[in-house]
Amino acid sequence: MLQLRWFVLWATYCIAIVTCDKKWWQTSVIYQIYPRSFKDSNSDGIGDLNGITESLWHIKEAGIETIWLSPIYKSPMYDFGYDIADFKEIQPEYGTMQDFENLIREANSLDIRVVLDFVPNHSSNESEWFQLSANRTAGYENYFVWADGTPDPNNPGKLLPPSNWISVFRKSAWEYNPVRKQFFLHQFVIGQPDLNYREPRVVEEMKNVIRFWLDKGVSGFRVDAVPFLFESRPEDHGGKYPDEPRANILETTPDDYEYLNHLYTMNQDETYDMIYQWRDILDEYESKDGKPRVMLTEGYADIKYVMRYYGNGTHDGSHLPFNFEFLNNINNQSDARDMKFIIDKWMTYMPIGRTANWVNGNHDNKRMASRQGIDRADAMNMLVLLLPGVALTYQGEELAMTDGKVSWEETKDPAACNTDDPINYNKFSRDPARTPYHWDDSNYAGFTSGNKTWLPVADNYKEVNLKAQMAAAKSHYKFYKDIVALRKTNTIINGDLEVKVISEPVLAVMRYLPNEPIVLAITNLSSSEHTVNLLEFFRVLPENMTVYASSIAAKLQKGERISTSRLVLSPHDAIVLVSSA
């Protein structure tokens, strides 16, 4: 234990003296809060802003520096906040603008920054902008993507959509509006009409939205659905929106998004310029007050497209294009080789001088512990927290929360409801990953003091909850918290990275910096015990190191001294070792 106490003293000293030139966001843990499911303060079964404010103690206690809130704006809630009726108002069931301002003040007092979701691709069809545009009100005619229909050759009185484009949520991406007598584009639900970024007024409107919230004190934005901002122009295709070609993916139907290859509705060149323009606004604010802001961009796309969001060599873009490689390409069958490949892939493609980020999950995908397996939850948290750059945690990942069960009758997600399929809806539903957070083992997991919740609480909340894991001698939460603390050290902030496949199931990640302690994270992904000689792979390692953190599965305990030439790893082990300086 003497070695561990020495290391804690060293870590505290490093936190105090580190004077590297990295900005706050480059080394931050960003914790995603899905407000509707985090904490309910008024017993209506829906999470809210005051619930978040009351729960900031958890963020601070865990050592997290930044929270990102999924949309809190005024909305009819067809897609639970991603269909925005007013970009500058708070959804009443979440609270008031005063509640939001209080949240900012309380977060600032705890040195916690607040990042908001910015949803630029679409608004709500109940927004004032859409109503004005549908009525062709002067100045608003082109706020959205409108097009004439095509006469049905088999029924001259019927109009068909302008093209074969398909919504992400299935079926046609075009909807006829009887007021305007044209179709509007909606790449998501019908209630989310796509804004037209070739209209200068729209561009300026959305820039003003960014300025409005920056003036409220937010520290940046997570930008939603970026690849969809622009579509090919009709004038480039003979005056018509072009049909997209078949993707030739088996077991898809003409109603499925995957049925087509989306050449004309994603990743258009103009999209990147728009990102650069938004970056200019953030830089402008930073130049005025010296406070860095951050932009994270969501784009599920080939890595070459994603990397373009960083900038074009002459113009800066997104600070952090989301790295979905773990989320998309790693599962509970992946081995150490797969994981090293994914890590190396991002670090190789990332432009020089940019900051990496690592993501295990979010509100749009099955929870990390459900996808990877609970046995691997500690290992996956360890990796995202100790790799270089920014770590993102979706609420509940620190507890290894798994997906809840949501019946067809309880389902709210339009991605599932649009299937009209009470048997296979769960293939599409995102609701299981959005069930309420587990605070304790009381009714409704301590999420609400009321008698209902907007989605059901997962069945395992009595065993898997924050209160229990804080009290336990060893838990997923305590392992997570230990590693978050380690991120504050100079080795992790500024150190180099070396990743080694020790064997098919054993992966080791080393962070090292001259004259600083070495940090080595190692995991056994298998259900068998493995004995390894780390000195064969890392020549700079000393013969003995100290266990800084150990997962639930690990037999080794914090503070133990181990031999690096003969390390015995338990099944599903994840441990962090440190050396003397």
Across 17-29, b (16+ Cβ under 10 Å) vs e yields eeeeeeeebbbbb
Q: Is the dihedral of CA 95, 399, 64, 432 positive or negative?
A: negative
Strands, sheet with 29-33, edge to edge from the N-terminal-most edge strand: 320-321, 294-297, 220-223, 113-118, 66-69, 29-33, 390-394, 357-359
Is the CA virtual torsion 169, 172, 174, 176 positive or negative? negative
Strands 146-147 and 182-185: antiparallel
Residue 190: how many CB atoms within 10 A of its CB? 19
Provide the 3-class DSSP secondary structure of residue 211: helix
475 is written with which tokens? 């838990």
Q: Give me the sign of the Cα torsion angle 559, 563, 564, 570.
A: negative
> Amino acid identity of 59?
I
Task: Provide the angle, in degrees to the nearest 10, between the axes of the packed helices 377-386 and 476-486.
Answer: 10
CB 418 within 8 A of CB 171: yes
Residues 336 and 346 sit within 8 Å (Cβ to Cβ): no
Catalytic residue numbers, as ranges: 224, 298
Sheet harboring 182-185: ordered strands across? Answer: 146-147, 182-185, 174-177
Distance CA 134, CA 125 (A): 10
Go through the chain and tell me how many residues it has: 581
The backbone torsions φ and ψ at residue 458, rounded to the nearest 5 degrees and listed phi first, read -60, 145
Q: Closest by alpha carbon to 92, among 52, 48, 28? A: 48
Q: Are 414 and 82 in contact (CB under 8 A)?
A: no
Give the C-alpha separation, 218 to 458, whole Å: 32
Q: Are 431 and 455 in contact (CB under 8 A)?
A: yes
Cβ proximity of 563 and 370 under 8 Å? no
- The kind and range of the H/E element at 113 are strand 113-118
Sheet holding 561-563, edge to edge: 496-503, 506-512, 519-524, 574-578, 544-550, 561-563
User: How many Cβ atoms from other residues are within 10 Å of residue 562's Cβ?
Assistant: 17
Q: Specify whether the CB–CB gap between 266 and 231 falls below 8 A.
A: no
**Continuous H helices in 110-147:** 128-134
